[in-house]
């Protein structure tokens, strides 16, 4: 992809957001949002006739209950100070370069300290001690369509017990442009996956080439969380975001340890309802470009790319039982979209922060900092903007007010954030092929 990157990336920015330009010369302000509202449930209808999602894949699993796994949180450092952005200066420290259009970075949780970088074309590269290991950990480029600006290999998540079972999951667009979530296994060489071990977990037809989202993450409950965009084009022409009968525009929650290819967790909010797909945890998403769980509290943060004016971050507390409606396409951020005024906001969960396209044009979700190197950063959610390269912190005060503060401008795109095993935070730049670590200047 690198041979056409200047033109391709410009188009990518336009398609991701539907905006014509991103004005990047204004100063950011603090934001404040209200607590989420409860969801209003619609009247059940019979959907037994709904079609399969992807040809050749059986998406309707059985619903046998399975045990819930509990992740061990990172211990809180002794005498951690309350987060205060005043006087705190962040910078980006180079880790590796020469990557091919990276769109993600993560770790395996196996104690090796390796970082795994997702490259859009269909490869996963290991970075060890700042060196990019050759050959790739996984190369599935023959399976992947990456010609579209929002297509390619887009997501990677390692099983919570990867050290024992060697399983990991990827999300990519196949040669037909449809979403495929597949399970792979590492080979006898810990730096190489077995490309022949693939098992398709889920497939979803994509009506357009954009808004594929693509992120995967295991929650503290041990389940696989899958964020799907609304199917693309612009303005959600098919109304997928609010349609409970389709998976597009939703957050899914799957038990990949039971059944083939998966089972629906028995406590998913719509299990037993005939009007909803039972895989759905929440709806009303446009293009969730990265989400993460706070490894200490279990709270969920979702960055959802806006249509043409507003970018947003949604917050879901760990105690949530699901069923949130994040509003798209009724709303874009906290503003009416369809209709453009007088929209009904009852039952919607509004974002805890938003920013206009004066400050960027495509939000990139990050992580709550839980590393040990920078205690003064502890508890702050880090996120950024793909277009402007701005990086912000977001935190909630003791009074419950959400505060956003601009901390730096990267000078290049911020395509994704990632965590290492110790909780340190990284970013990747698609345009520059860079992996960088977020640090605090002395």
pLDDT tens sequence across 173-232 = 999 999 999 999 999 999 999 999 999 999 999 999 999 999 999 999 999 999 999 999
Q: What's the CATH code of the domain at 138?
A: 2.120.10.30
What band does 168 get if pLDDT is binned at 50, 70 and 90? Answer: very high
Mean pLDDT of the chain, nearest integer = 87
Would you call 40 exposed, middle or buried from its count of C-beta atoms within 10 A (0-12, 13-18, 19+)? exposed
pLDDT tens sequence across 4-46 = 344 344 444 444 444 444 333 333 333 333 333 333 333 333 3
Tokens at 171, concatenated: 């999300």
Residue 52 pLDDT > 60: no
Residue 7: CA atoms inside 13 Å, Cβ hemisphere, count?
4
Rounded CA-CA distance 212/204 in Å is: 10
pLDDT tens sequence across 397-410 = 999 999 999 999 99
Helix (H) or strand (E) holding 44: none
Rounded CA-CA distance 251/35 in Å is: 20
- Identify whether the C-beta of residue 137 lies closer than 8 Å to the C-beta of residue 125: yes
Domain containing 91 equals: 2-440
The region that residue 87 occupies, defined by phi over 0 for left and psi between -120 and 50 for alpha, beta otherwise, is left
Q: Considering its fold, how many domains does the chain have in total?
A: 1
Can you name the residues that pair with 168 across neighbouring β-strands? 158, 184
SS3 12: helix
- What is the pTM for the complete model shown? 0.84
């Amino acid at each position: 992809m690198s041979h056409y990157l200047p033109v391709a990336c410009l188009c990518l920015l336009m398609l991701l957001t539907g905006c014509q330009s991103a004005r990047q010369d204004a100063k950011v302000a603090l934001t404040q949002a209200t607590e989420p509202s409860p969801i209003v449930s619609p009247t059940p209808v019979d959907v037994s006739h709904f079609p399969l999602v992807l040809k050749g894949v059986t998406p309707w699993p059985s619903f046998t209950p399975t045990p819930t796994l509990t992740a061990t949180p990172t211990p809180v450092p002794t005498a951690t100070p309350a987060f205060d952005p005043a006087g705190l200066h962040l910078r980006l420290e180079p880790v590796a370069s020469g990557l091919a259009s990276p769109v993600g970075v993560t770790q395996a949780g196996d104690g090796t300290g390796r970082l795994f970088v997702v490259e859009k074309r269909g490869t996963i590269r290991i970075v060890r001690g700042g060196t990019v290991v050759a050959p790739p950990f996984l190369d599935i480029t023959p399976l992947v369509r990456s010609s579209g600006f929002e297509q390619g290999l887009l997501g990677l998540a390692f099983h919570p017990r990867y050290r024992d079972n060697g399983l990991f999951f990827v999300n990519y667009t196949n040669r037909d442009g449809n979403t495929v979530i597949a399970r792979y296994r590492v080979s006898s060489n810990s730096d190489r996956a077995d490309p022949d071990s693939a098992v398709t977990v889920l497939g979803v037809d994509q009506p357009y080439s954009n808004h594929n989202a693509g992120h995967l993450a295991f929650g503290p409950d041990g389940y696989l969380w899958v964020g799907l965009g609304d199917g693309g084009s612009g303005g959600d022409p098919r109304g997928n975001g609010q349609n409970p009968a389709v998976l597009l525009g939703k957050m899914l929650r799957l038990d990949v340890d039971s059944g083939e290819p998966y089972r629906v967790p028995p406590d998913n909010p719509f299990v037993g309802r005939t009007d909803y797909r039972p895989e759905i945890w929440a709806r009303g998403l446009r293009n969730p470009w990265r989400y993460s769980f706070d490894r200490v509290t279990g709270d969920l943060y979702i960055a959802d790319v806006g249509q043409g004016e507003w970018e947003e971050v949604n917050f879901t507390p760990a105690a949530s039982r699901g069923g949130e409606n994040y509003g798209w396409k009724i709303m874009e951020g906290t503003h009416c979209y369809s209709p453009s005024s007088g929209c009904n906001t009852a039952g919607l969960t509004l974002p805890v922060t938003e920013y206009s396209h004066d400050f960027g044009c495509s939000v990139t979700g990050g992580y709550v900092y839980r590393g040990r190197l920078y205690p003064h950063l502890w508890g702050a959610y880090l996120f950024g903007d793909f277009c402007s390269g701005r990086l912000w912190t977001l935190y909630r005060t003791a009074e419950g007010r959400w505060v956003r503060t601009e901390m730096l401008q990267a000078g290049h795109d911020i395509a994704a954030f990632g965590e290492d095993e110790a909780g340190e935070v990284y970013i990747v730049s698609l345009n520059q092929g860079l992996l960088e670590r977020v640090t605090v200047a002395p």
